[in-house]
Structure 1
Amino acid sequence: MLAALGLDEVHESAYRALVSVGAADVPDLARRLTLGEDATDRALRRLERHGLAAQSSARPGRWVAAPPGVALGALLTQQRHELEKAELAAALLAEEYRAQAAEPAVHDLVEVVTGAGAVSQRFLQLQLGASDEVCALVTGNPVVVSGRDNKAEEQAAGRGVAYRVVVEREVLNLPTGLLELSAALGRDEQVRVVERVPTKLVIADRTLAMVPLTSRTAEPAALVVHASGLLESLSGLFEAVWRDALPLRLGQGGGITEQHPDGPDGTDLEILSLLLAGLTDASVAKQLDLGLRTVQRRVKRLMELTGVTTRLQLGWHAYEKDWVAREGRPPREAVSQRELPSQRAGRPDPTPEG
């Protein structure tokens, strides 16, 4: 836990042991750490250089631990100072880069990446470097990186990066397709499905995109596109596919359902009702056992769905569309859902009443 302060596992264990006993000599501490006396002595000397331990003046040969609040606080302050210097250096380098790239040459707007390793690394870097949103078109034929291997997506989504993903229907039939999509929906990613996507594509923060290059050779290759008219065209392509795709939702029991994008789902209706009742976003999240970002993201989606810019307008639309109860009448179900064929497989047909 103290690795960020420059201490490895041995030195942290030595400091913790010294804190627990208050004072100890080298042989005693070596037995506690199951280390040789020479290694223990080196660890204590290292702690001494960090200001975490000192030799006792009252009892020669014994070592005492420095108070953690003071000693570790000093190290934390030093680390914060180093981080601030690094942030300043990064900001200066970014400014220098922007100045040099103010009028980039045409050949700097695109780069060709070849080789499976290089393509995979660049694909992951795009996601790890995103700070706002990642948009992607996914085919049913992963060549370099499969959904199972894409750990960057989980990391990026975990730190708040929004994901909008369109998969072609073939993905649902892959051996791990439904499992991967369920995991993505569980991370509150927005996922839609179409019969076919025109190409594989990933766009990070609308500033960088990556598309595969078809080649006569077996070696994978991709084109990385920087901010340009070409990037705007790729963004437009994604938005066009996104509008025509059907949203996927987690249904009861963890199954996946397709939902027509003409209305909110059950959770959206609950959020709307609570907001119109006067609850704050935080109270709604607590009431429904949802994350605050989830509530805010769903409200934003509903505003985009209705084409409004304020929550007051959203409330009016919800009332007009009968999305919420009025005059004692329950809200009209505004969502049309159907199970995926793969989830209906093996289920007996209902027997008609006779």
Structure 2
Amino acid sequence: MFTALGLETTDEAVYREMLESPALGVEEIAARLATCPDRVRACLDKLFELQLIQESFEAPGRFLAVEPAVGLQQLLVRQHDELIERQRQIADSHASFLRMLAGTGARSSRGGGIERLEGMDAVQRRLQELARDAVREVLTFMPGGPQSAAALRAARRNDGHVLGRGVRIRTIGLDGVREDAATLDYARWLTEQRGEFRTAASLPPRMILVDGASALLPIDPDDTRRGALCLSEPALLAPLLALFEQTWERSTPLGSARPALSGHEGALLACIAQGHTDESAAKQLHISPRTARRMMASLMDRLGARSRFEAGLKAARLGWL
């Protein structure tokens, strides 16, 4: 477990020695572990940075191990925040990639590997063509939280034809769709038809990949009604396929419970429900305002909420508060 949290074997050993024998100094720990004092000091630097040890109030200059229940919880929260930030960076890079392609697509022909589809009618026609021609697998990012009735009807129609031919379908939606009756009904229907549906805390913009040979992406991630780009160039498809697989591995299957909230996330939601701002909640939790804002943005994504008030209501309905 410690390795998964970023600690090496020697780091863990030093931490355990400090827990079991708080009075030991650097030289004594080094002797017990049969290593050099400089290696122990390097481990102490790392443990201090990870907030697993702290300076003693009674003896300045001496460090004490933080209790595992506290220290590891803080480390898990930090790693969770870093993961969310990484997902946001991936989504931002993906959006920039789409904008770059949009400019290129305006000058490209269908034969050049990038086709520009103007308007939703053109997009729907191409989706029907891709669904008709799919032979192996259809992969979909479904961001935006709860889906419209029209979108769900179209998805059922296209997916039904595809699944009927034995083609595999894998779809990833946001965690928030689990409490939207219509979208959840579609997801359950999909799994009953032997499709697969998972959810994630955050997602890149909408994307549909067919047989690893074609991809549909919005021209403008902020306004999907403008149309889409249809990509068929292998060099463009490879990173999109890799992005989907990475996101799929981190996502939660529909029949599984979502990962529990971290201690700080639950406390932050409770503060927000009491009327605190991000800044005042940060003071209550002894974290930075920036961390509080990032955590709140992540929670709103997971809940599919457009406001802090809506996030509080949905969290209460889900039993998060």
Name the structure with the higher helix share. Answer: 2
TM bucket normalised to smaller: 0.3 to 0.5
TM-score computed with the length of structure 2 as normaliser = 0.43
Structure with higher RCO (Cα < 8 A, 6+ apart): 2
